[in-house]
Amino acid sequence: MKRTILFTVLFLFSVLSTFSCKERCPQQPCARVDSTGLNLVPPEFVEPCRPELLSVQQSGEGMWPWQDLARLDEVALKARGLELPLAELWTPGAGGLAQAVIGLRGCTGAFVSDQGLLITNHHCALGAIQKLSRPDQNLLENGFVARSRSAELPAPGVAIWVFNSQRDVTEEIFRDLPAGAADLDTALYLRKREKEIVTECEKTPSVRCSISRENDGLRFHLMVSTEITDVRLVFAPPESLGSFGGEVDNWRWPRHSLDFALLRAWVGPDGKPAPHDANNIPFTPPRHLTVSTTGPAVGDFIMVAGTPYRTSRYRTAQEVREAHEWFYPHRETLFSRWISVLEKANEQFPEARIPNATALRRLSNGLINARGMIEGIQKNRVIARRLSEEETLRTWIRSTHHPVPETALDELNAFLDGVPNKELDFLLSQMQNGVSAFSAAYLLVKWAHERGLPDPQRTPGWQERDRAGLLSRLNAADLSYHAASDRMVLSMFLDEFDRLAPEQRPAFHVPPVTDEDRKKREDQLDLMFRTTTVMSPAAREPLFSATSEMLAQSPDPMIQFVLAWFPQLQDLEKRQLVTEGALLRLRRPWMQATVAFRGRLFYPDANTSPRVSFATVTGYSPEDGTWNVPFSTLRGMLAKHRSRPPFSLPSAFLEAAQQENQVPWMDPLLEDVPINFLSNADTTGGNSGSPVLDGKGRLIGLNFDRVYENIAGDFGYNPLRSRNIMIDIRAILWTLDRFAQAFDLLTEMGVRRAEK
């Protein structure tokens, strides 16, 4: 009853606001309720009716799971500009156009031909481009175009997932869960059930199965995909174009980045996934996108389909406060020091620039993200809003006698408040993945440990099904390794452990007290990196097959170093499991109440499963008195050109850009080639490379970033500032045509070459 009253009040507020606005702007739409009927604009975000803000009211909030699209108001979406049926986009059990969208590690992509050609962001392919680069063939600097299929280059470490189907397995997961089980036992039991379901699923040939968890266990979905590991680089612009503006422009608007690359999926002669081989053939995808040549306009309806990584829309106020006051400040401090170390390494060792390129890009991106989170959480008043939402939900639970106890949130907060070893766990997880030689040695030690267990009892990700992927990860890491840089990073991490309070610090880790102590530690690090073989493929091969007992006797100093740290890393895993079980017990009831309260307004947090956001091309006001228009152009890109990075353009690009006739890639209203554009789509990390579709489902661009004011959007959508940045399809086609002269690729994409 109370919820009905609340929604009625909000609806009346919307109607009255619209009437008032209509009097001031009679020719303009002024809706306060999103036209999908699913998203209410919070009252604190309503501003006086101004023509330049009107399109803001067509909220893009919601990362909607593909299997939930039938819940949406299709009539309202069609009124906004959707022209194809939602069932054509995705129908559970039958698929749809969304099958053209594929998953990459940390990114998204989409097929654009029936010959396995796929498009994604340049920065999503950057790791492979860097690994393929060397001083005499620097693909990072010069870019790459395969003029024939045989010239396409195997992309190290790249795999793609073509989504086939998914189904809800929540009941199967929880079946026979022992009542009153301890949190650790609960987590282990549910992981066991997940592995059993995945094992049964993968009895079907040529499929890769996984379990997707929503909101710490609200729902579990079995995802069935085709995993393709023979992926080859087809086209990459020079980094000066793919990341034009570098870290100066990163997360900023206006942006002028040609952030795209082309890859191709290859399979065995029988059409099934196979390792790289000269006899392989291009993959025939179930669906591929039609490439538009017209692009979007201001106010156009668009869709962004992809695999957003993670959001925190339903975290408690206490968790948001912890992120704001502890996690992101710690990340900012660590990443700042880490970047300084790698930049110093690049100065001392010029040959380190190529192998360190990907890590520096990732860290710089994470640093700006941390700063944006800290500022955005405060500016958007996320904590205060979350407290208000929690009190509203408590009131609703009391008034409706909902079976979830009102104390559920208090119990959840009490657990979160008592989580131990935060500082230690933060550093352990960062060091485990951030020091290449340490990561390789850890993989060898962990793999030997897990192989000592029966396969069903192993940790997910470490079963026999994962052998090839682990080996591929090792081999790909070799191509980004620079020993001196890695040694400097490990030294930095040891300094970070020195700073921990004694009760947090591992007992065996003794900080140096004197200069002599420090010199001794640095000498030991020098010796360890000089003599370790974990980054040598030939010497490492027997280590990958070794038992734990054999590794314990290994003379390799990095193996011995990791063995000393291994109990700490195992304890970290155990603490993570306890937290996982506790959240299943404590957060799940609170989330069930949230779902019941929000009804059709509820969409789950992002979790790397397929989603779609419905949005509008629109600008925004980043600060008082400023309005950012939603398009940048080739003319603006040329105006930024300087003689030095990150704003230097290749001479061939300048020559192509200065041609008078840019038809048909020119926008008639802009009288120029559009480069990037803005929308209010709901996106986050993992949406990089997501195809942007028009109302007919045609490809009109690629998502690649968010604006700085929207970094904290992971914690809550803000209608006034939630904006993401996309590359316009016309910029992509112009680059392939006028700059790269990749005419065969245009033809394969179904695009007619421009007449000069």
Question: What mean pLDDT comes out for the span 323-329?
Answer: 97
CA distance 671 to 620: 22
d(CA 612, CA 86) in angstroms, rounded, equals 11
CA separation for the pair 283, 572 (Å, rounded): 41
Q: Lowest-confidence range among 235-239, 257-261, 399-403?
A: 399-403
As given in the structure block, the two tokens for residue 142 are: 């010069």
Cα angle for residues 689, 694, 699 (degrees, 5° grid): 45
**How far apart are the C-alpha atoms of 676 and 256, rounded to whole Å?**
6
Structure tokens at 361: 């890009």
DSSP 291: B
Phi-psi group of 608: left, alpha or beta (phi > 0 → left; psi -120 to 50 → alpha; rest → beta): left
SS3 607: coil
Amino acid (one-letter) located at 439? S
376-434 confidence digits (pLDDT tens):
999 999 999 999 999 999 999 999 988 988 789 999 999 999 888 999 999 999 999 99
Looking up tokens 């991106």, which residue turns up? 365
- Distance (Å, rounded) from C-alpha 252 to C-alpha 244? 12
- In angstroms, rounded to a whole number, what is the distance separating the alpha carbons of residues 745 and 749? 6
With 0-12 / 13-18 / 19 or more C-beta atoms within 10 angstroms meaning exposed / middle / buried, residue 670 is middle
Residue where the block lists tokens 């006739």: 661
> Torsions phi, psi of 4, nearest 5?
-60, -45
Give the chain's length: 756
Rounded CA-CA distance 667/664 in Å is 8
What are residue 732's DSSP bridge partners? none
- To the nearest whole number, what is the mean pLDDT of the chain? 91
Provide the strand spans (E) within 610-738.
611-616, 631-633, 674-679, 691-693, 699-706, 724-728
Report the alpha-carbon distance of residue 138 to residue 144 in Å, rounded. Answer: 9
Q: Which two tokens stand for residue 169?
A: 């397995």
Q: Quick one: tokens of 516?
A: 């002599």
- Residue 94 corresponds to which tokens in the numbers above? 């039958």
Mean pLDDT of 85-106: 95
Contact yes or no for 172/195 (Cβ under 8 A): no
In whole angstroms, give the CA distance from residue 124 to residue 159.
Answer: 12
pTM of the complete model: 0.90
Dihedral angle over CA of 439, 445, 448, 449, nearest 10: -110
Instruction: State both tokens at 196.
Output: 């059993």
The two beta strands, 281-282 and 261-267, are antiparallel
- Each domain of the chain, given as residue ranges in start order, spans 2-88+611-748, 165-226, 317-598
Question: Please, which pLDDT band fits residue 661 given cuts at 50, 70 and 90?
Answer: confident
Token readout for 403 is 């079976």
Q: Which residues pair with 145 in a beta bridge?
A: 235
Mention every residue, 6+ apart, whose C-beta is less than 8 A from residue 417. Answer: 318
- Confidence band, pLDDT 50/70/90 cuts, at residue 287: very high
**8 Å CB contact between 717 and 61:** yes
Provide, rounded to the nearest whole percent, the portion of the chain with pLDDT above 70: 92
Instruction: Please tell me the chain's helix, strand, coil percentages from 3-state DSSP, rounded to the nearest 5.
Output: 50, 15, 35
Residue 4 has pLDDT above 70, yes or no: no
* Position 754 confidence tier, pLDDT thresholds 50, 70, 90: low
Whether 217 shows a pLDDT value over 90: the answer reads yes
H or E segment to which residue 231 belongs: strand 230-236
pLDDT of residue 694: 98
Checking if the pLDDT of 36 tops 60, the result is: no
94/97 Cα distance (integer angstroms):
10
